[in-house]
Amino acid sequence: MLKAIKTLAVIVSLGVAGPALAAGGVEIPKRDWSFQGLFGTYDRAAMQRGLQIYQESCAGCHSIRLIYYRNLADLGYTAEQIKAFAAENEVEDGPNDEGEMYMRPAVASDRFIKPFPNDNAARAGNNGALPPDLSLMVEARVGGPNYLYAVLTGYGEPPAGTEVMDGMSYNKYFPGHQIAMPPPLSEDGVEFADGTKATVEQQAKDITTFLAWASEPNMEARKSMGLKVMLFLLVFTGLLIAVKRRIWADVH
């Protein structure tokens, strides 16, 4: 019995400390997100700003290979807007009749283009570090959107006595506090089309919302279906209770 209690205590303690340990022993601040909770939905305006941030600040190093251009309809874009957006990029296609590969403008059915042709090229362009694909970044990190927001806003000067290796940046929320990626966001680093002030915090919130959608684009449909199923079960249960009472009404 005592052994079982000790085991349970260890499990509980790991569950509580897990997020902090996964972040290098640093507690990640929690934030409220529009897409969390049973009735949570994605903020379309934030996702559109997040897409702009990805294109201008992230796409040069990070891919988002699981997303197709046609998926941008979820962000509120029309078919014509998506067609024009995709056509700004080129993808390799072929072979043609001569057996050669060729470049053509991207179309809605293409995946988002990758910044590098392969991992070796990506490492060569980033001082040996391999920029991760961002498609599942929010789902893949303990703390999810809170972790990503914290890292994006956690850059700063290292504390006195802390030595940062060459080519690394100090980040108070990144495990080990040294990260190969330089600060990707800066004050007024982008000019939002809707006039929103582009503070680092605002940009971090918007790109996190966009990447949360990229990690789970079917979340809203899943929640909607779940609510419908729950409603159906409630109604069905009520009907069963009513039928039962009617059938056994004369039995004492």
Q: Which amino acid appears at position 45 of this protein? A: A
Count CB neighbours of 206 within 10 A. Answer: 25
Side-chain half-sphere CA neighbours of 155 within 13 A: 15
Residue 10 is predicted with a pLDDT of: 35
CB 76 within 8 A of CB 44: yes
The model's pTM is 0.82
Is residue 7 pLDDT above 80, yes or no? no
Which residues, at least 6 apart from 57, have a Cβ–Cβ distance to it below 8 Å?
184, 185, 189, 190, 203, 207
Query: What's the chain's Rg over C-alpha atoms?
Result: 24
DSSP symbol at 29: P
**Which residues have a Cβ under 8 Å from the Cβ of 38 and sit 6 or more positions away?**
223, 226, 227
Taking only the tens place, the pLDDT of each residue in 135-158 is 999 999 999 999 999 999 999 999
Q: How buried is residue 145: exposed, middle or buried, by Cβ count under 10 Å (0-12/13-18/19+)?
A: buried
Give how far Cα 20 sits from Cα of 132, 133, 149, 169, 222, Å: 22, 24, 15, 21, 29
Domains of the chain: which residue ranges?
217-247
Residues 6+ apart with CB under 8 A from 251: none
Tokens in use for 198?
């582009």
What is the per-residue pLDDT for 109? 96
For residue 14, pLDDT beyond 70: no
User: Which residue from 173, 184, 219, 236 is spatially nearest to 41, judged by alpha carbons?
Assistant: 219
* Assigned token pair, 215: 């990690």
pLDDT of residue 24: 57
Structure tokens at 121: 């090229």
Predicted confidence at residue 248, as pLDDT, reads 84
CB proximity list for 76: less than 8 A, separation 6 or greater: 44, 47, 48
For residue 74, the 8-state DSSP code is: G
The size of the chain, in residues, is 252
Q: What is the pLDDT of residues 158-189, one digit of tens each?
A: 999 889 998 899 999 999 999 999 999 999 99
Side-chain half-sphere CA neighbours of 128 within 13 A:
5
Q: Which tokens sit at 218?
A: 């079917």
Residues 233-242 have a mean pLDDT of 88
